[in-house]
Amino acid sequence: MIRLGLCCLFRTEPIRFRRTTATYAAKLPPERRAERMAEICLHNARSLLAALTFCYHNGIGAFRINSQILPLKTHPEAGYAVEDLPGGKDIIAAFKQCGAYARRHNVRTSFHPDQFIVLSSPRQDVVTRSVGELCYHAQVASWVNADVINIHGGGAYGDKTAALQRLAAAVGRLPTDVRSLLTLENDDRIYTPRDLLGVCRETGVPLVYDVHHHRCLPDGIAVEKTTRLAAATWNREPLFHVSSPLWGWKNDNPRNHHDFIDPDDFPPCWLDYDLTVDVEAKAKELAVLRLKKQLESCFRPAPQAGE
């Protein structure tokens, strides 16, 4: 069975997540800043519950949570502990309500942190900040019942082999609660599935197979075989990504995402698996619902004679 996932935001539904900037927060007195952050965090918890409710009632099986669900949480100057915010216990309770709803209705939740999380960096300060960011995600994941924190491999820094070794070593040093949720995703410029599968096997971290990235940066392994290899790295339901190129595959730059998914870009072999597939398309819920309808036709039995 295919469980389609909606990524972070909505195109037409009136469900919005609020953010702020460190520049704005720095202008506020400490007490007012804490109040402001508390307002935004509680609003986002309520929006998350609305998002999960929409997904459940529309047959969307997964929701990717924006990493800024707690804005500026780990910022070096504007950061905060949720427990210390006004009404902090109520904020945490609201997020835990989201987790309970997701668990009760089988809506899978996940995170895909921003690109600045780089465990393969040769700079220890970058790795240290990355680990701190992952710990933040793991904390919120425990509230909202998320089972994936997905990251890319990072840069190659002129020596891909050495970078992959640093990546594997950094993963091995992660706190257990973070490592148990971590996944790696192939990208469209540096790391192919072939590059990352060795790290995944070595560390026990699953591979999130992005087929669009693989088509942009092929490695000589067919989609069908890569699907099998990636699925084998998981100890729970695999999570993959699908998208379509904005200007088609014959364009010089197929990396940008289209508003919708071309059904021909959805690998037919995936229909043989129990998968979560995040739909990375700019039309958001509209794209997920359209693809859902298109895939459902694949499972309808052919009409019998005389019907």
How far is residue 85's CA from residue 59's CA, in Å, rounded to a whole number? 35
- Taking alpha carbons only, the member of 125, 126, 182 closest to residue 154 is 126
Tokens of residue 68, six digits: 């800024």
pLDDT confidence of residue 219: 96
**Confidence band for 250, pLDDT divided at 50, 70 and 90:** confident
pLDDT confidence of residue 193: 98
On the question of pLDDT at 271 being above 90, the answer is yes
pLDDT confidence of residue 296: 87
Mean pLDDT, residues 38-63 taken together: 98
> Residue 303 has what DSSP assignment?
P
Mean pLDDT, residues 25-39 taken together: 95
Mean pLDDT, residues 28-47 taken together: 97
How far is residue 145's CA from residue 26's CA, in Å, rounded to a whole number? 32
How far is residue 67's CA from residue 136's CA, in Å, rounded to a whole number? 9
**How are beta strands 108-111 and 62-65 bridged, if at all?**
parallel
Mean pLDDT, residues 294-299 taken together: 80
pLDDT confidence of residue 307: 41
On the question of pLDDT at 306 being above 90, the answer is no
On the question of pLDDT at 268 being above 60, the answer is yes
pLDDT digit string, tens, across residues 199-231: 999 999 999 999 999 999 999 999 999 999 999
On the question of pLDDT at 25 being above 70, the answer is yes
pLDDT confidence of residue 114: 81
Are 234 and 205 a contacting pair, CB within 8 Å? no
Q: Which residue has the tokens 């490695």?
A: 219
pTM of this prediction exceeds 0.85: yes
Q: Which residue has the tokens 């209705």?
A: 105
Are 223 and 246 a contacting pair, CB within 8 Å? no
Q: Which domains does the chain possess?
A: 2-13+60-67+108-299 (3.20.20.150)
pLDDT digit string, tens, across residues 111-166: 999 888 999 999 999 999 999 999 999 999 999 999 999 999 999 999 999 999 99
Q: Alpha helices, DSSP H only, in 120-210? A: 124-144, 160-172, 176-179, 193-203
